[in-house]
Amino acid sequence: MSDSFQTIPGTFDILPDAQSSSAGTVAPSHAWQHVEGTIRRVMQRHGVREIRTPILEPTALIARGIGQLTDIVSKEMFAFERGDAHYVLRPEVTAPVMRAYLQHHLAQLGGVQRLFYVGPCFRAERPQKGRYRQFHQFGTEYIGADDARADAETILLAVDIYRELGLTDFTVRLNSLGTAATRPAYKAALTAYLRPLAGQLSETSRERLESNPLRILDTKSEAERKLLEAAPVMLDFIDEESRAHYKDVKKHLEAAGLSFEEDPFLVRGLDYYTRTAFEIDSPVLGAQSTLAGGGRYDLLASEIGSKQEVPAVGFAAGMERLFLALEAAGIVLPEAAAPDVFVVTLGDRATDHAFPLIRAWRQSGLSVVYDLKGRSMKAQMREANRQQARRVVILGDAELDAGMAQLKQMDTGEQQSVPLSGLPGLLSAAT
RNA sequence: GUGACCGUAGCUCAGUCGGUUAGAGCGCCAGGUUGUGGCCCUGGAGGUCGGGGGUUCAAAUCCCCUCGGUCACCCCA
């Protein structure tokens, strides 16, 4: 073990078969395919189209996009340089998607761009349950929309994906952060309220009192939460338009029959959010309880160089956390598809003869497998059983001479002798 | 970055008052059926007991270091 290579801490392999090893694989590859398939299907129904952006982005895009002072940028990025160029492995994909929107002048296409993505992101944090250094996010970005329906649809889209997967045990929390113009007043009020209480705050919260007081709002400390109970509330400070927007978002969510909680202390870790902010939490995830988070980010485009303001709203969700939640909920994902046919051969002539036949059957759309180790018939049958092949074709030299083959139905054990020429028809017929 | 706990076969885990060739179940391979799976029986392969150093006549077991894992803080998907 000492000389061999392993995955880098906080990363993992996704294997075809479930493995409950310590350096866990989270879920087997077919489970990933199933979940991703569900995501794509629900996205498709909403008219949301896929965008794929590079893993590698310019460091400045991320730094300016999500805020120089955020922890992600200040200490959690995998960044490096070559020559004069500075690169990062993307820690999230909202800024890259907005970059693509601006770079390709997607606004010129008219209307709202409804985009989604699924793919890996990277953060140099210490791994723990539900948190990895290479992790996978899916999410949407509705770019060019300031309508409150876009905010509501974004939230409902995430909810629909979870429900379609069978997940029901989660809560949606909602807040409005107002605009860049109204935030300073709230910040000042919050700071004024907390300053006299500084003695009772944790060290990090005391530091934030000066740097980023809003982040104190989502402290985990019981004591601090108590102090915050009487704190001024953001909603009282936001402008009329934001208030109306927030009201509309709630109206649409209610019309859709979604139950949600208003959480006046919900803030998000990235700087670009305005107005709507939301989180979807699962009670089963332990310390990393956030399944998905998102909101409106009308400032981002300008932040990364757009001359025009571009209203936008979206969410990002963690794949790994989704798998944890599914498992905790006892939701069993479909098994990987079993092969239609397993071909057992006996003797060199039959083995050689089968090779092109197998290829032809595969070309006709069947899933066909066979043993590549030249093993005994018994071993080949065992393998067929292990792979849960529905049918087995047995071809030996004796059959070959007679132009026949044995066709065995594995679930019933029924076996019949059939002419080789008739096999393609029999195999492609339904069980 | 900080802290706690953990590290014995592919997997799940026994095995510590230090004492001969390190075990089980499952999985894998083979045989029992000279050409037939799932059940059963028999046998087998697979481990430098994470790695290094130390104490000792003797270390999986005690000590130190190191690497890795897990969880939590921080932060966040």
Could you read off the pLDDT of A127-138 as tens digits, one per residue? Answer: 888 899 999 999
Reference A312, options A297, A291, A292, A293; nearest CA is A297
Length A384 CA → B9 C1' (Å): 27
- pLDDT for the residue A335: 87
| Cβ of A127 near strand B (distance < 7 A) | yes
Q: Which nucleotide is nearest to A386 (CA to C1')?
A: B37
What is the arrangement of strands in the sheet containing A368-370, beginning at the earlier edge strand? A368-370, A341-346, A391-396, A404-409, A415-419
- At residue A237, what are phi and psi to the nearest 5 degrees? -110, -10
Cite the beta strand spans of A153-304 per DSSP E. 171-176, 261-262, 274-281, 290-296
DSSP label at A200? G
Please report, as a single letter, which amino acid is at residue A29: S
Reference A323, options A312, A310, A332; nearest CA is A332
- At residue A16, what are phi and psi to the nearest 5 degrees? -65, -30
- ipTM of model: 0.89
- Residue A173 to residue A152: CA distance in whole angstroms: 12
Query: A340-386 pLDDT, tens per residue?
Result: 999 999 999 999 999 999 999 999 999 999 999 999 999 999 999 99
Q: Which of residues 141-200 of A touch strand B (CB under 7 A)?
A: none
Residue given tokens 């029959």 in the structure block: A257
- pLDDT for the residue A24: 57
Which pTM value belongs to this model? 0.93
- Residue A99 to residue A161: CA distance in whole angstroms: 26
Domain architecture of chain A: domains with CATH: 19-182+238-328 (3.30.930.10), 341-426 (3.40.50.800)
Q: Which nucleotide is nearest to A281 (CA to C1')?
A: B77
**CA angle, A138 as apex, A137 and A143 as ends, to 5°?**
120
Query: A234-269 pLDDT, tens per residue?
Result: 899 999 999 999 999 999 999 999 999 999 888 876
Label residue A430 by pLDDT band (50, 70, 90). Answer: low
- At residue A161, what are phi and psi to the nearest 5 degrees? -65, -45
Reference A146, options A324, A288, A275; nearest CA is A275
Residue of least CA–C1' distance to B2: A126
Structure token pair of residue A320: 């790994």
Could you tell me whether strands A134-143 and A312-318 are parallel, antiparallel, or unpaired per DSSP bridges?
antiparallel
State the average pLDDT over residues A270-283: 88
Q: Which of residues 227-266 of A touch strand B (CB under 7 A)?
A: none
All residues at 6 or more sequence positions from A182 whose CB lies less than 8 Å from its CB, including other chains: A237, A238, A239, A242
Q: A181 vs A405, which has greater pLDDT?
A: A405
Cite the beta strand spans of A94-185 per DSSP E. 113-122, 134-143, 171-176
- The answer, yes or no, to whether residue A429 has pLDDT greater than 80, is no
